[in-house]
Amino acid sequence: MECPPDRLPLVRHWGSDLGPLDEEAARAVCLIGERSGRLSGELDARPPSLVPEAWTGWTGRPGLVGSRNGRDWSPRFSGVSVRIGGTEAPSYTEAGAAGLEVAADDAEGLLRLTLTVEMLASGLLRVRAGLVNGGGTYDLQELSVALPVPTHAAELIDFSGRWGMERQAQRLEFAVGAHVRENRRGRTGLDSAYLLHATEPGSDFVGGETWAVHVAWSGNHRHVAEHDSTGIRLLSGGEHLLPGELRLAEGEGYTGPWVYASYGDGLDRVAHRFHSHLRSRPGHVSPRRPVTLNTWEAVYFDHDEKRLLELARLAAEVGVERFVLDDGWFGGRRHSRAGLGDWTVSPDAWPHGLQPLVNAVLEHGMEFGLWVEPEMVNLDSDLARAHPEWITAARSELPVEQRNQHVLDLSLPDCYEAVRRQLLAILDEYPISFLKWDHNRDHVEAGVRPRGGVPGVHARTAAAYRLLAEVRAAHPGLEIESCAAGGGRVDLGILEHTDRVWVSDVSDPLERQRLLRWTGQLLPTELMGSHIASPRSHTTSRTHDLSFRGATALFGHLGVEWDLGATTPEDRAELAAWITLYKEYRELIHTGTLWRGPDPGEGIWSQGVVAGDGTKGLYSLTSLTWCPTGAPPSARLRGLDAHRRYRVRPLTVGSPAAGFSAPAWWDEQGVVVPGSALARVGLPVPVMHPEQTVLVLAERVD
């Protein structure tokens, strides 16, 4: 970074390590980062800073947008002070992992901008901007931070999606113009951009220089890739503010969300920095993640005590360690049209309260978990009847419904208090170790009713974070899952308060292969809820063998989403074997490094997790479609030590993959192969039918 006193800091390079730079070399890097020259007719412009401003000649999207009734709209920050670790920075510093605090003033515009720039031990960069208003009311519309990427980052990769199909990767040319991913859903979104990458053409998991940004915010937000006609390319991000949402009175301030940035040669190395950052969080989950059974696809709203007691018994029998009671236990919640907002146990569904079930779960040696959706309300609820003004709306009519529900305004202190009290009461009454915290609708036209419908997504997002933090503080050890109609709230903001995400409502393993693969671009395996569901998928109607369902779910936090009451003893024996296998390898899966690809061929995927010390790796080889060539190609196993030898053997649970034909090395003894050969020559993928997976274990022998 270059931090001149008279303008905001510029990032001159981020990405590959340039080696140690003395002051002279650092100055040279800054110099070659200047423009190469200009054509006649062009502005006398300088490269944009972390918060791009028009006065530098930047005609692209400004970092700060706002005004005082049309005045003070073009900021020029100077008088920049820089502090590192609390003390004023010397003129030249090579800091490594460190934090930089920047403050700058626009004396004419009466604004103060603050920037916090941190290089974390994981190698992630994160930047946060703040603004303090020193004059009359300032209408803040946008405060984003931008990072430059080089011209060879000529392609973009980000994500889209919908219910059941979250995080579908899309790849496009980084052409002149702005690729703007603006979210106005009030939650991260099933279609969230998730991570916006700029990359060398042809990059994949294995290689190709790649830069990525991610906005750690669960409310409205924006990711932008911008390429101007002079060749400048920026990746930027920030909160998306609605009209009039943040009107700062004199002396008031705003702090934007962290914008994270990662770099790597290949998508895997971009992901590794996020994984190691998340794993370094204080209180990060234990790698001995408890195998979970969630009741949703087993019983839906049919909460019958006898049936659920039997489900708990069968769950314990197959090795489940945490039993989670999903939607349907409270208020008038016999269906999705009623009850949200009334967080007391329903005497209709549970005439003896939850105690008999909770006791049985604990007696079986399992933990008890419960589903809640505290930010939402059904009109058919006591809460909505008593406090219609707590339902968000921008106009006199209520917003369009989604799943028969509306958004509660937790930014209103009384509403927040009522929800908080109910949640804490249920947590005090029962020994609950886990909350599945759902959020099933978008915040559309979600104004603050008692204030005439002004937008309130920012305040509500902050209130939701506060509620999560308060609940956790009151119940240390409580784990919380972030769920939003599946994986609609997956971001690093919510992950400051939660312990895993529900990746998707789709547990069909064919879909899950892709969902886990791409959700893994941000999250390590232990944070991705990954359940084995019934043979016939409730969402896609496809039918799959347990071997494919089990081997797919294994690469996440394993659970069960299946009505065990409708299974045969043989099904349960095979399921128990998968659970045993998970328990044996979960520490490897949840601490190891994830390597995806190279995919051996069209429709054949390989991935693995390798222990940090390189002693072992667990791989899956998956056939998604028929292999177009007669003999399937070889899978090159990544992440192992090229200078050591490994015994490679199959891990088989229950019946083998359909159409399976064993290659020469496929037996219990396996074969000892140098790591270099596994990486370069590869293992021949066994012949198998489509929608099948086999597992391979590599253990170091020398």
* In the complex, least distance from residue 484 CB atom to ligand DGJ, rounded to whole angstroms: 7
Determine whether 667 is an active site residue. Answer: no
Please identify, using beta-carbon distances, which residue of 138 and 502 lies nearer to ligand DGJ.
Answer: 502
Other Cβ atoms closer than 10 A to 93: 15
CB of 115 to ligand DGJ, least distance (A): 37
- 367-372 vs 322-325, strand pairing mode: parallel
Instruction: Give min distance, CB of 532 to ligand DGJ, in A.
Output: 14
Structure tokens at 284: 């990060």
d(CA 83, CA 3) in angstroms, rounded, equals 11
Q: Closest approach of Cβ 272 to ligand DGJ, in Å?
A: 28
- CA 337 – CA 331 distance, rounded (Å): 11
Write the CB contacts of 145 (distance below 8 Å, at least 6 apart in sequence): 50, 51, 63, 115, 127, 128, 129, 236, 237, 238, 256, 259
Q: Least CB distance from residue 438 to ligand DGJ, whole Å? A: 5
Euclidean distance between CA atoms 30 and 617, whole angstroms: 43
Q: How far is the CB of 586 from ligand DGJ (least distance, A)?
A: 22
Separation of alpha carbons 8 and 26, rounded Å:
18
Residue whose Cβ sits closest to ligand DGJ: 327
H or E stretch including 668? none
User: By C-beta, is 419 or 627 nearer to ligand DGJ?
Assistant: 419
Q: Which is nearer to ligand DGJ, 164 or 266 (CB)?
A: 164
471-to-33, 218, 464 alpha-carbon distances in Å: 48, 18, 11
- Token representation of residue 364: 């079986």
438 is catalytic: yes
Nearer to ligand DGJ, 531 or 638 (CB): 531
User: Quick count: other Cβ atoms within 10 Å of Cβ 23?
Assistant: 11
191, 326, 342, 505: the active-site residue: 505
To the nearest whole angstrom, how small is the minimum distance from the Cβ of residue 41 to ligand DGJ?
Answer: 55
Q: How far is the CB of 373 from ligand DGJ (least distance, A)?
A: 7
Residues found near ligand DGJ in the complex (CB under 6 A): 296, 326-327, 371, 438, 440, 483, 485-486, 502, 505
Residue 619's φ and ψ, nearest 5 degrees, are -120, 150
Say which residues have a Cβ less than 8 Å from residue 10's Cβ, sequence separation at least 6.
1, 2, 4, 30, 33, 47, 48, 49, 50
Q: Which is nearer to ligand DGJ, 255 or 402 (CB)?
A: 402
Nearer to ligand DGJ, 260 or 502 (CB): 502
For residues 15 and 211, is the Cβ–Cβ distance under 8 A? yes
Question: Which three-class secondary structure string do you get for 500-545?
Answer: EEECCCCCCHHHHHHHHHHHCCCCCHHHEEEEEECCECCCCCCECC
The least distance separating ligand DGJ from the CB of residue 356, rounded to whole angstroms, comes to 22
- Determine the Cα–Cα distance for residues 547 and 653; give it in Å rounded to an integer: 7
The one catalytic residue in 105, 158, 268, 438 is 438
For residue 240, how many other CB atoms are within 10 A of its CB?
24
Determine the Cα–Cα distance for residues 573 and 316; give it in Å rounded to an integer. Answer: 12
In three-state secondary structure terms, 264 is strand
Residue 451 and residue 389: Cα distance in Å, rounded?
A: 10
Q: Give the nearer residue to ligand DGJ in terms of CB position, either 209 or 373.
A: 373
**For residue 54, what is the DSSP state?**
G
Q: What residue spans of 294-348 are helical by DSSP H?
A: 296-299, 305-318
**Comparison of 323 and 646: residue with beta carbon closer to ligand DGJ:** 323
Least CB distance to ligand DGJ at residue 187 (A): 13
- 1 vs 345 by CB, closer to ligand DGJ: 345
Q: How far is the CB of 682 from ligand DGJ (least distance, A)?
A: 38
Output 483 or 581, the one with its CB closest to ligand DGJ: 483
Between 440 and 513, CB nearer to ligand DGJ: 440
In whole angstroms, how close is the CB of 528 to ligand DGJ at the nearest point?
14
Cβ-contact 576, 589 below 8 angstroms: no
Q: What is the DSSP string of 445-483?
A: S-EEGGGTTEE-HHHHHHHHHHHHHHHHHHSTT-EEEE-
User: In degrees, to the nearest 5, what angle opens at C-alpha 234 toward C-alphas 219 and 246?
Assistant: 35
| Rounded Cα–Cα distance for residues 543 and 553 (Å) | 15
Secondary structure element (H or E) that encloses residue 356, with its range = helix 355-363
Looking at the Cβ atoms of 129 and 357, the one nearer to ligand DGJ is 357
CA angle 467, 347, 381 (to 5 degrees): 50
Q: How many CB atoms are located within 10 Å of the residue 7 CB?
A: 18
C-alpha separations of 76 from 54, 63, 255 in Å: 8, 12, 19
CA dihedral 461, 498, 558, 554 (to 10 degrees): 80
Question: Active-site residues: which are they?
Answer: 438, 505
